[in-house]
């Protein structure tokens, strides 16, 4: 295997901060999976981060990811791709075909569509349920009080193995109580993975037990504004 890597300052700094946060929290080195969120960046912007050794990437739109990742995956076959944005059932096939993990299972229609495509394509992406910890009307995710029943239905009705939970705390609030709530729900359900923490708060998330942190701008720089 080619182990030559080039330096990428943004990635190097985030890796150091993740390692420091693991140590500070008394957690094993390497216990947190760093997902480099490459949404809005094209292949030219992503290749230097791959060249620096990063293999786990996150995207929030199926269509955007389907446009740029098949070629990048062909260049570097051990890429692991995570869907961290909302999924529509008519995109379930593309999502199951392309992604190695889906963090945003949040309703029966999606759970059923993903289950059907997994059976059809013979692929088993790792699955997480998104929880709307702030009960924000505009935000995706199941409500905290509905999470236990929904995870149970994913198993019993849809035959899905749920690996963990994901949340995006309200922007205007302190994230810590949201991370604590997600960890508490996952704990009582016996779920191992906690996808929480972004550029502004991943160290806090690691202190609360995050296993997957989703970091975009701290690695790639500021994203162009969405149009
Ligand atoms: C964009 C995005 C991120 C990364 O955000 P940054 O603040 O750039 O680190 C993380 N999670 C989700 C769901 C996102 O859409």
What are the tens digits of pLDDT across the range 182-200? 999 999 999 999 999 999 9
- What residue's CA is closest to ligand 1, atom 11? 214
Number of H helices, E strands in the chain: 9, 8
Tens digit of pLDDT at every position of the chain (227 positions): 456 789 999 999 999 999 999 999 999 999 999 999 999 999 999 999 999 999 999 999 999 999 999 999 999 999 999 999 999 999 999 999 999 999 999 999 999 999 999 999 999 999 999 999 999 999 999 999 999 999 999 999 999 999 999 999 999 999 999 999 999 999 999 999 999 999 999 999 999 999 999 999 999 999 877 65
Most informative mutation of 14, 34, 37 for ligand 1 (most atoms within 8 A of CB): 37
* pTM summary value: 0.96
Q: Would you say how long the chain is, in residues? A: 227
What pLDDT is attached to residue 223? 86
What pLDDT is attached to residue 226? 64
Contact by Cβ (8 Å): 168, 179: no
- The ligand 1 atom at the shortest distance from the C-alpha of residue 200 is 7
Q: Are strands 126-130 and 80-83 parallel, antiparallel or unpaired?
A: unpaired
Cβ burial, residue 219 (10 Å; 0-12/13-18/19+): buried
The pair of three-digit structure tokens given for residue 152, joined into one six-digit string: 């149970």
Q: Is the CB of 82 under 6 A from ligand 1?
A: no
């Amino acid at each position: 295997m080619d182990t030559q890597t080039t330096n990428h300052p943004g990635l190097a700094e985030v890796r150091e901060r993740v390692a420091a946060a693991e140590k500070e929290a008394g957690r094993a080195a390497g216990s947190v999976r760093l997902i480099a969120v490459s949404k809005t960046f094209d292949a030219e912007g992503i290749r230097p981060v791959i060249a620096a050794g990063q293999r786990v990437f996150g995207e929030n739109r199926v269509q955007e990811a389907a446009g740029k990742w098949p070629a990048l995956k062909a260049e570097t076959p051990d890429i692991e791709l995570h869907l961290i944005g909302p999924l529509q059932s008519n995109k379930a096939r593309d999502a199951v075909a392309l992604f190695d993990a889906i963090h945003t299972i949040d309703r029966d229609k999606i759970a059923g569509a993903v289950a059907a495509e997994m059976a059809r394509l013979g692929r088993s992406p790792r699955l997480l349920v998104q929880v709307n910890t702030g009960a924000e009307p505009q935000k995706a995710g199941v409500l905290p009080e509905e999470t236990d029943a929904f995870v149970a239905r994913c198993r019993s009705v849809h035959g899905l193995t749920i690996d963990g939970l994901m949340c995006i705390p309200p922007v205007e609030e302190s994230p810590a109580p949201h991370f604590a709530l997600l960890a508490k729900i996952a704990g009582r359900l016996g779920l191992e993975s906690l996808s929480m923490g972004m550029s502004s708060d991943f160290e806090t998330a690691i202190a609360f037990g995050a296993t997957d942190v989703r970091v975009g701008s701290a690695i790639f720089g500021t994203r162009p504004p969405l149009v």
